[in-house]
Amino acid sequence: MNIRQVLTALCIVCLTSLVTAQLPHTEQGLVERLENFPTDYISPRHVDIWTPEGYDPTKKYPVIYMHDGQMLFDSTNTWNHQEWKVDEVLSQLISEKMIKPCIVVGIHSSKTRYADYFPQKAFEILPLDIKNRYVPMDSTKRTSFTFPNGPQADNYLKFIVKELKPFIDSKFATISDSTGTYVAGSSMGGLISMYAMFEYPSVFGAAGCISTHWIGGFSDNDNPIPAAFLHYMNKNMPDSKSHKIYFDHGTVGLDSMYTVHQLKVNYAMRDAGYLDNRNLKTDVYLGHNHNERYWAERLDEVFLFLFVQ
């Protein structure tokens, strides 16, 4: 991996320490913020809820939970001055009647992002020497890429499922079952989105996994992590009759390392009964790099696949 790719990866983690308190500006729809949402499972963090133009509390709306919530709506508030353009993309799709109106719950990431998003049950089956790299006993060796308190993905999902989702369902007009509850994210957020649907198939009916970080770290040389993810997935596959999942990746930077691993995942999904362009979609975007600019360009494809039954 060259230095440019490393710096790209480092920049992604930089956003975890630059969570802004300023409410994002949106072109359409309304954002409300839950500041430092209280939780028994993880560190408190902001949660932004976007409702579409014409939101009517007497109707019921599907909900998509999205990770790295501070990056979704307003590039003037983000560390790299990029955004997903979630409100613009969704508003256009809704106005063109390509999808029905929906609600977005953007969960801000924190300095524990890496520990929060690394699928925990896959981590637990890694060789001990690999696990020790991520949970070093020596505190001086801990970084943004280690787990100072161990992996936290299971607690992160408990926060969403047991605390945040019940609150959202009580305050907003949601379709609360799995037919109207989705999850999506990019990079490590793609991993935790897959993990959310696999761990809680009765809660999440669909997942959008964008530039999924199958290598787990920053090298693909003699790396056992992708095999651990695949092993976990094969053992915990949700029912293809009631679930759907979207994958994609680019061909530049970190994304260039994902191709071989994504192909293996695709085969596993098909073996489990998932059918291309029905409940499984996987795309490769030539020339796309690993950042919000490119994720925004293909976000309409993600939403169209997840929201259109």
Q: Give the CATH number of the domain where residue 223 resides.
A: 3.40.50.1820
Confidence of residue 24 (pLDDT cuts 50, 70, 90): confident
153 and 119 in contact (C-beta within 8 Å)?
yes
Residue 117's pLDDT band, with cuts at 50, 70 and 90, is very high
Tokens standing for residue 215: 């290598």
**What is the pLDDT at residue 83?**
82
In sequence order, what E strands does the chain have?
A: 30-37, 45-51, 63-67, 103-107, 181-186, 206-210, 244-250, 280-285
Contact 50, 163 (CB under 8 A): no
Q: Are 265 and 233 in contact (CB under 8 A)?
A: yes
Q: Are 164 and 105 in contact (CB under 8 A)?
A: yes
Is the pLDDT confidence value at 20 over 70? no
- Whole-number pLDDT of residue 17: 37
Burial of 214 (0-12, 13-18, 19+ CB in 10 A): buried
Evaluate if residue 258 carries a pLDDT over 90.
yes
Residues 6+ apart with CB under 8 A from 257: 1, 214, 215, 220
Percent of the chain having pLDDT more than 90?
Answer: 78
Per-residue tokens: 204: 């999440």
Contact 145, 187 (CB under 8 A): no
Range of the domain at 145: 3-307
Query: What are the φ and ψ backbone dihedral angles of 57, each rounded to 5 degrees?
Result: -65, -5
> Would the pLDDT of 249 be above 50?
yes
Three-class secondary structure of residue 73 per DSSP: coil
**1-19: average pLDDT:** 41
Q: Is the pLDDT of residue 116 over 70?
A: yes
Q: By C-alpha distance, which of 185, 222, 181, 215 is closest to 200?
A: 181
- CA-nearest of 289, 50, 278, 106 to 269 is 278
Choose between 111 and 66: higher pLDDT: 66
Whose CA is closest to 65, among 202, 171, 181?
Answer: 181
pLDDT bin (cut points 50, 70, 90) of residue 135 is: confident
Number of domains in the chain: 1
User: Cα torsion at 73, 113, 155, 264 (round to 10°)?
Assistant: 90
In this prediction, residues 156-178 reach a mean pLDDT of: 98
Return the minimum-mean-pLDDT range out of 25-29, 192-196, 231-235, 249-253. Answer: 25-29
Is the pLDDT at 104 greater than 70? The verdict is yes
| pLDDT score of 243 | 98
Helices 225-235 and 259-271: angle between axes, nearest 10 degrees: 10
Mean pLDDT for all residues in the chain = 91
User: What is the mean predicted confidence (pLDDT) over 258-283?
Assistant: 97
Q: Can you tell me the mean pLDDT for 41-64?
A: 97
**81 falls in which pLDDT band (50, 70, 90)?**
confident
Is 10 a residue whose pLDDT tops 50? no
- The pLDDT score that the predictor gives to residue 14 is 41
The whole-angstrom separation of Cα 103 and Cα 309 is 17
Residue 5: the pLDDT is 45
pLDDT of residue 21: 62
- In this prediction, residues 51-58 reach a mean pLDDT of 97
CA distances from 294 to 2, 114, 122, 194, 285 (A): 20, 22, 28, 20, 9
| pLDDT given at position 132 | 87
> Cα–Cα distance between 216 and 224 in angstroms, integer?
9
